[in-house]
Amino acid sequence: MLRVAVIAAALLLSVGEAFPHGEEPAPPPKKETPLFPVKVVQTRKGQIFVDANGMTLYTFDRDTSGHSSTCEGKCTERWKPLAASNDAEAKGDFTVIIHSDGSKMWAYRYRPLYTSQSDHAPGDINGFDGANLWHVARPAF
């Protein structure tokens, strides 16, 4: 009878440790924003750059200085600059430039990168324009 009592007590103690008294499980680790949000994907029209959400990235022909964006005011309503965090650093051909509003944004070979309001789902390339001012951003080989 003493053996049964010892075994029962041991089982109760081990079950008690598995189910903490009134404690909630630890929250899952926070998902950190990547410091480098550009990816290369293969499409029917070749390789293109996309942001962390899979949205196509574009360059603007009027961005020629290499250190700033010329897309200002109303332009940024249609073309959203690819934001860079305050601690973002250049990596390879990707640089960080300061937008006129003081925010940081990513650039590829000193060409600022943008997403288009015309794209509604990953893989859309509706931002290309007939005037050839906006182009799908592609890796250079």
Section 71-95 average pLDDT: 91
pLDDT at site 35: 57
Section 125-136 average pLDDT: 84
23 phi, psi to nearest 5 deg: -90, 140
Q: Are the CB atoms for 55 and 41 separated by under 8 Å?
A: no
Beta strands in the chain (DSSP E): 39-43, 46-50, 58-60, 79-81, 94-98, 104-108, 111-112, 114-116, 134-136
pLDDT tens digit sequence for 23-66: 666 666 655 555 578 999 998 889 999 999 999 999 999 998 77
Closest CA to 58 of 130, 125, 131: 125
Section 111-117 average pLDDT: 95
- The alpha carbon of residue 40 and the mean position of all alpha carbons in its chain are separated, in whole angstroms, by 12
